[in-house]
Amino acid sequence: MAPVAVFQAAFLLAWLPLSTYQSQAVLSEPLSLSVHVNLTEQSLKIEWSVHNLTHPELQMAFQIEISRINKSNVIWVENYTTTAQQNQTLRRMWKSELPLECATHFVRIRGKDEDPRMLQRRVWSSWSSWVKAEAQSLLGPEPLLVFPKEKQVEEGSDVTLCYVSRHPQSHVVCKLNGILVPGEQLDPHVSVVTLRSISFVSKTGSNFFCEEDRNHTQPGLAIFVTKVLEEPKGFSCETRDLKTLNCTWDPGSNIDSWKFPCQRYTLFESFSGGKKSCKDKHWCSWQVDSQETYNFTLQAENCFRKRNVTLLFQLAHRVHPMTPFKVALKSVSATNAILTWTVHPLRNNFTLLCQVELHSEGRVVQQHNVSTWGNGQYSFRGLAPATEYTARVRCAAAQHFWKWSKWANQEEFSTPQAAPSTAPDVWRSVRPTLGSCNVTLFWKPLSRAQAHGKIQFYTVATERLHTPSSSQLFPIPAPANGTELSLDGCSHRIRVTASNGAGTSPASVMVIAGDLGDPWNPGNQTAEVKEERAQGTGDGVSMSWKPPPGDVLGYVVEWCDGPRESPCDLRWESLGPNATSTVIKSDAFRPGVKYNFRIYGISPERMAYLLERKTGYSQELAPADNPRVTVNNLTSHSFTLSWEDYAADAQPGFIRGYRVHLRSQAEQCLPGFTKALLPDNTACCKHDIDNPEQKTFLVKNLQPESFYEFLVTPHTRAGEGPAQAFTNVITTRDQHPRVLIRILLPMVFPLLFLTILCYVKSQWIKETCFPDIPDPYKSSVLSLLKPKESPHPSIMSVRDCVPDALEVVNKAARRSLAEVECPKHDYLHLLPTGSSAGPGPGICFENLTYNQAAPGAGPCGPSPGQGGLLAAPGGLLRSPSYVNSPGGPPAEEAPLNYVSQVAPPTSGHEDSPPTPLLELAPRSEYRTQMAVPPGLASPSPEEKSHLCAVSLPDAGGHGR
């Protein structure tokens, strides 16, 4: 057994390498590859074949690589799987974006076994040799070439172009429709231009060219841009005769290139597998057989893409019958007519629904549906006599409605005349005269539906109420719409009829009884009815009324189509017995014009009587003008506005009130006024008057002597009067200040005169009334006051003294205030005559101006003691200025000089050195100069140092 096992192992080892070699030998077998250049389509056609296959058919995978310019620059790789046969030539097409003339391309291929029956390892074979595809050798001798020569692209796509220049140093510029486009150099001789998202310009294409600066050649090409293929819209199929299907659609905005037409439509039917190429891009026909259900697919395609739409339907649901024919009318009478027609035959018992219409005066008056499967007819009833009509018919499938057929040719016909069916609408105007009545009759023409033919004449019959046999007939030819009658008395019955070629209408009857008069004239019975307002509706006037307590046959509303000033064009409207309101409309109504209406009731005896009077506008307008306002009772705080002469009835609307506008410098409005804006956006204050009868207004709470502006505007339902210019008014002065001024003014001038006079005479008054030295006898004012005699006089009078001599004791030079240690009192001793031993009574002069150091001291100290101020016994210091000489005038006649009260005290001797004068203070005070009684004690030594005395010499020293 061992040798056998060894032999088997040796056989297997020898067979495995052989089988592996055979398998790998098949896969490594070189593929025969060839490449063909198609410059028209700018594509490479790649062909190869596989030899020595192990099976007749084998599933294989191939990988194709394409390089550009050089072999290492691979630009495209494709894996392709197919079933290969022995010695079969396989093909693939590759389209190049770059024109093949601009670069050299290289192609190689390899393959591997992908068949599931093969158990060997699946590996790629070795690559085939590179096959060169070159088109540059086909180029001409031109110095500059542009490729491709023609190009068709889809709108919005990118386009790659190139140009080849024989001179690398030359400068080339390219343009698309005159716009410069940049390029990218591919090698020294070739440059590439890429156009992004190219747009559709025209069917003739876009122009692209390049220009070289060396020889100025301009080669180029035309680029044809097609619209993006749209999906067909509205795809539908129908049949007219159940024999042929007609399918239609809307191709949209698909625009095919005239240079490269490639747009086409194809119809596929899935149940039958049929296919039909459509010659037109809007419709296509399909022959019908016994098939009842269809599933169509419409395919639209061009050079770049395809679009599909589908449609599934039942044939019986898409029947669109053909137009009926042989339409005719028969048995036409005044009110009836019969219409007949014929339809195109369809399958047996296929029911159609036909629609008939009857038109008159441009509108449909009758419409009916009739079911039929052959010839059809319909009878029109209720037609109007003497009327023109038009009849037409169309049909559709009755069971499964799809579409109506077209209308058949219209048939026109007219019905014959008939007697008028309605009595004329008649009204009257009565003007009584002495013993008779003038009656004007009016009637409205009958409508076509009422006249039933052309009216030839009207007949008016009158008869007295109490003698019916006495009637009269008045034929009036058409087209008259009224007549005038002069009747004997005012109690008549009037009948009016209309006649045509076929007969006479019913009579319209009215009764005239009593002296009714003309309601438009003043002073008649209509003045007893109060006039009320009616509401306008824009195109008419709306009004209502209260029904009378008795029975009525109807109502009549009467008015004139024009203003009251113009001649009356009488109009009326007749209403039924149940009407209590109406809207009167007339083409003659104009906005802003007032119309007057009268409402009459018709009694069962056919007599008319006035119920109510109305006035109104069809459309109110804003007032045309404002009232002319006058200002009355102007005061400092108010004024009155008046517009009594404003004609409110003449306005184009009912005056509902007035608005007073007021402007002033104050920001706040007066009480009763509110803020408002005028049409020009200026602010003012307003006050509304809701009573249209009020035509005066009091403006109060004003400021005196203030400026105000006012404007009064009326307003209607439509708006306010025009914004005209304001009127100015100025309030008067206040009366109370004026009275005060009248009282105070006479007082002010005298006071002012006295003040000025006092100011001018101030120095004189001061010197006269308030001298610097208070000498009563130098004051003309005080001199008038004579002192009373008293046993103890307080004021010295020199004339009352009988001195022998007067001596000024202290008379020294002025000293400054600083040099005065203390102020002292000056005494004037009166020297007695006779044998009096002691000094007589003296007068003390006290100046408190400089005695501020001792304010609490008494007014004057006692007079100095005997000999206190005398120079030597028996003798006194004398002054020639103040003492009478022996030969001089008497002492009592000599003037008495006073030592200045501001003089400082002296030493008491005339030989003493003079003391400097005191500086005067700004203000001086003086105490009352008192007489010193004789019995006063002498001052103490301490007080002597503060006293300044003036003594008089004794009698022995001086004669009188």
Write phi, then psi, for 149 (nearest 5 degrees): -75, -35
Q: What is the CATH number of the domain that holds 245?
A: 2.60.40.10
User: How much is the pLDDT for 151?
Assistant: 86
The confidence score (pLDDT) of residue 945 equals 38
Final residue in a domain of this structure, among 81, 102, 133:
133
Same domain, 161 and 115: no
Q: Answer yes or no: do 602 and 483 share one domain.
A: yes
Does 491 lie in the same domain as 556? yes
Q: Which domain holds residue 171?
A: 144-226
Assess whether 102 and 124 both reside in one domain.
yes
H/E element holding 106? strand 105-113
The closest alpha carbon to 500, from 444, 440, 462, 445, belongs to 445
pLDDT, residue 275, reads: 93
- The helix (run of H) or strand (run of E) holding residue 892 is none
Q: Which two tokens mark 240?
A: 């007219």
pLDDT of the residue at 809: 56
478 and 541: one domain? yes
Give the strand pairing for 190-195 and 184-185.
antiparallel
Q: Does the pLDDT of residue 690 top 80, yes or no?
A: yes
End position of a domain, from candidates 295, 317, 339: 317
Confidence of residue 887 (pLDDT cuts 50, 70, 90): very low
Domain contains 119: yes
* CA 89 – CA 753 distance, rounded (Å): 148
Residues in contact with 606: Cβ distance below 8 Å, sequence separation at least 6, in sequence order: 493, 509, 510, 511, 553
Query: What pLDDT score was predicted for residue 872?
Result: 37
Helix (H) or strand (E) holding 747: helix 735-760
Among 189-203, 479-493, 651-665, 882-896, the range scoring the smallest mean pLDDT is 882-896
Under DSSP, the state recorded for 831 is: P
Q: Between 348 and 670, name the one with better pLDDT.
A: 670
How many angstroms from the chain centroid is the CA of residue 736?
53
- Range 184-193 average pLDDT: 88
C-beta of residue 186 within 8 angstroms of C-beta of residue 192? yes
Q: What is the pLDDT of residues 66-111, one digit of tens each?
A: 999 899 999 999 999 998 888 788 999 999 989 988 889 999 999 8
For the chain, the distance separating the N- and C-terminal CA atoms, rounded to the nearest angstrom, is 215
- Where residue 739 falls among pLDDT bands split at 50, 70, 90? low
| Gap between the Cα atoms of 876 and 866, Å rounded | 12
What are the backbone angles phi and psi of residue 23, rounded to the nearest 5°?
-65, -50
Separation of alpha carbons 121 and 105, rounded Å: 33
Span 483-529, pLDDT tens digits: 998 888 778 899 999 999 889 999 999 998 764 443 334 444 444 78
| Other Cβ atoms within 10 Å of 778 Cβ, number | 12
More reliable by pLDDT, 53 or 795: 53
Domain-embedded: residue 930? no
| SS3 state at 170 | coil
Angle between helices 735-760 and 762-769 (to 10 degrees): 60
CA pair distance 611, 616, nearest whole angstrom: 17
Between CA 500 and CA 248 the distance in angstroms is: 58
Banded model confidence at residue 810, pLDDT cuts 50, 70, 90: low
Closest to 67 measured CA to CA, from 11, 126, 134: 134
Q: Which of 347-351, 377-381, 952-956 ranks highest by mean pLDDT?
A: 377-381
C-beta separation of 116 from 81 below 8 A:
no
Phi, psi (degrees; rounded to nearest 5) at 145: -130, 140
Q: What is the DSSP string of 906-927?
A: --S-TTSPPPPPPPPPSS--B-
Judged against a pLDDT cut of 80, whether residue 130 lies above it is answered with yes
Neighbours of 25 (CB within 10 A): 10
DSSP 774-808: --TTT-TTGGGSPPPP-SS-SS--GGG---S----
- pLDDT category at 908 given cuts 50, 70, 90 is very low
Output DSSP code: residue 355.
E
Q: Which of 802, 812, 843 is nearest to 930 (CA)?
A: 843
Classify residue 889: in a domain, yes or no. no
What's residue 487's pLDDT?
84
Residue 849 has a pLDDT of: 42
Give the pLDDT mean for 310-338: 93
Mean pLDDT of 722-735: 86
Q: In whole angstroms, what is the distance from residue 368 CA to residue 222 CA?
A: 63
- Dihedral sign computed on CA atoms, order 583, 588, 593, 594: negative
Choice among 352-356, 421-425, 846-850 with the minimum mean pLDDT: 846-850
User: What is the model's pTM?
Assistant: 0.50
Taking alpha carbons only, the member of 181, 223, 188 closest to residue 206 is 223
Percentage of the chain modeled with pLDDT above 70: 74
* Among the listed residues 208, 190, 183, the one whose alpha carbon sits nearest the alpha carbon of residue 198: 208
pLDDT score of 627? 92
Q: Residue 219: its pLDDT value, please? A: 87
User: Picking from 83-97, 156-170, 879-893, which range would have the lowest pLDDT averaged per residue?
Assistant: 879-893
Q: What is the torsional sign of CA 69, 70, 74, 79?
A: positive
Number of other CB atoms surrounding residue 29 within 10 Å = 15
DSSP string, 250-282: E-TT----SSS---EEEEEETTTTEEEEESSSS
- Specify whether the CB–CB gap between 600 and 555 falls below 8 A: yes
Of the listed ranges 105-114, 466-475, 726-735, 921-930, the least confidently predicted one is 921-930
CA 478 to chain centre: 59
pLDDT at 488 (0 to 100) = 82
Average pLDDT, integer, range 950-958: 37
If one counts the domains in the chain, the total is: 6
661/865: higher pLDDT: 661
Residue 808's pLDDT band (cuts 50, 70, 90): low
Whether 375 shows a pLDDT value over 50: the answer reads: yes
Q: What is the mean pLDDT of residues 824-851?
A: 46
How many whole angstroms separate alpha carbon 75 and alpha carbon 333? 91
Among 395, 415, 435, the domain boundary falls at 415
Residue with tokens 């490479």: 44
807 and 952 Cβ atoms separated by less than 8 Å? yes
* Least confident window among 142-156, 251-265, 621-635, 870-884: 870-884
CA proximity to 107, closest of 72, 88, 133, 73: 133
Tokens of 686: 């307003």
Asked whether residue 159 falls in the same domain as residue 99, the answer is no
Residue 495 to residue 575: CA distance in whole angstroms: 19
Which residues have a Cβ under 8 Å from the Cβ of 538 and sit 6 or more positions away?
618, 619
- Is residue 831 a part of any domain in this protein? no
**Neighbour-count burial of 625, counting CB atoms closer than 10 A to its CB (0-12 exposed, 13-18 middle, 19+ buried):** middle
Per-chain mean pLDDT for the chain: 78
pLDDT in tens, 541-565: 999 999 998 899 999 999 988 766 6
User: Residue 777 has what pLDDT?
Assistant: 53
Looking at the DSSP bridge assignments, the partners of residue 224 are 152
Query: Residue 947 above 80 pLDDT?
Result: no
pLDDT tens per residue, range 692-712: 999 999 999 888 888 999 999
Write out the E strands in 748-886: 826-829, 842-845
Q: Is the same domain home to 221 and 175?
A: yes
Give 737's pLDDT tier (boundaries 50, 70, 90).
Answer: low
What is the C-alpha radius of gyration for the chain, rounded to an integer number of angstroms? Answer: 72
Kindly tell me the burial class for residue 580, based on how many C-beta atoms sit within 10 Å of its own C-beta (0-12, 13-18, 19 or more). exposed
Which CA distances in Å does 821 have to 818, 828, 853, 905? 7, 22, 10, 11
Q: List the one residue out of 287, 288, 292, 239 whose CA is nearest residue 402.
A: 239
Across the beta sheet with 376-380, the strand order is 325-330, 337-342, 376-380
Q: Decide if 97 is inside a domain.
A: yes
Residues 473 and 593 in one domain: yes
Range with the poorest average pLDDT among 209-213, 266-270, 555-559, 651-655: 209-213
**Based on the domain organization, do 437 and 567 belong to the same domain?**
yes
Note the pLDDT of residue 784.
53
Residues contacting residue 285 through CB under 8 Å, at least 6 positions apart: 244, 245, 246, 247
Residue partners of 890: CB distance under 8 A and separation at least 6: 884, 960
Confidence of residue 736 (pLDDT cuts 50, 70, 90): low
Tell me the pLDDT band of 615, cut-offs 50, 70 and 90: very high
Are 195 and 159 in contact by the 8 Å Cβ rule? The answer is: yes
Q: What phi and psi, each to the nearest 5 degrees, are found at residue 545?
A: -150, 165
Same domain? For 432 and 474 the reply is yes
* Cis upstream peptide for 905 (omega within 30°): no
* Residue-level pLDDT at 853: 40
Task: Please indicate, yes or no, if residue 484 is contained in any of the structural domains.
Answer: yes
For residues 284 and 268, give the distance between their C-alpha atoms in angstroms, rounded to a whole number.
11
Convert the pLDDT of each residue in 272-311 to its tens digit: 999 999 999 899 999 998 889 999 999 999 888 899 999 9
What is the pLDDT at residue 420? 92
Is residue 864, in this structure, part of any structural domain at all?
no
Q: Are residues 586 and 447 in the same domain?
A: yes
Please indicate, yes or no, if residue 866 is contained in any of the structural domains.
no
Are residues 129 and 214 located together in one domain of the fold? no
Distance CA 536, CA 619 (A): 5
Question: Which carries the bigger pLDDT value, residue 253 or residue 104?
Answer: 104
